[in-house]
Amino acid sequence: MSSSRSPLRLLVVDDDRQILDLLELSLSLQGFDVLTAVSGDEALQLIRRPGSFDVIVMDVLMAPLDGFETVRCLHEVMGSALPPVVYLSGLNREEEVPLLSGHRSAFLVKPFRPAQLAALIREQAVES
């Protein structure tokens, strides 16, 4: 990425604060501008703030709103302006992911290397 370009702006959502802190640190070190949310509700609040996100990184297994339900709610608020989503999950069931029709998304199974996540985020941002 050229230094003249602004860093990609990410919204990272995970209900495990330790994982959220690790994601924030590793993605910041990869050159991303990272904002975090510890729940689906917090993500919904942040998405209403001025400014936009290039990619959303969303944990799947959260409560009370899981990652898929959170993205459906974000889609209700943002419509076609919803940025691409990278789903993170410890479950290896990508074929069962209830994705939004026509919306760009990707799925990464835990555990993964930070470089894998960074590459997938950049891929989603470029193709959107």
CATH number at residue 40: 3.40.50.2300
Q: In the chain, how many domains are there?
A: 1
Specify the amino acid at residue 63: A
For 10, half-sphere exposure in the C-beta direction (CA atoms, 13 angstrom radius) is 30
Report the Cα 103 to chain-centroid distance in Å. Answer: 13
Q: Are 48 and 56 in contact (CB under 8 A)?
A: no
- 3: in domain: no
Give dist(CA 109, CA 72) in Å, integer. 20
pLDDT tens for each residue of 35-50: 999 999 999 999 988 7
Average pLDDT over residues 103-111: 86
Higher-confidence residue: 99 or 3?
A: 99
Note down the domain range covering 103.
Answer: 9-127
pTM attached to this predicted model? 0.90
Q: Quick check: is 2 in a domain?
A: no
E-strand ranges in 67-118 read: 85-89, 105-109
For residue 44, is it within any domain?
yes
pLDDT at 74: 94
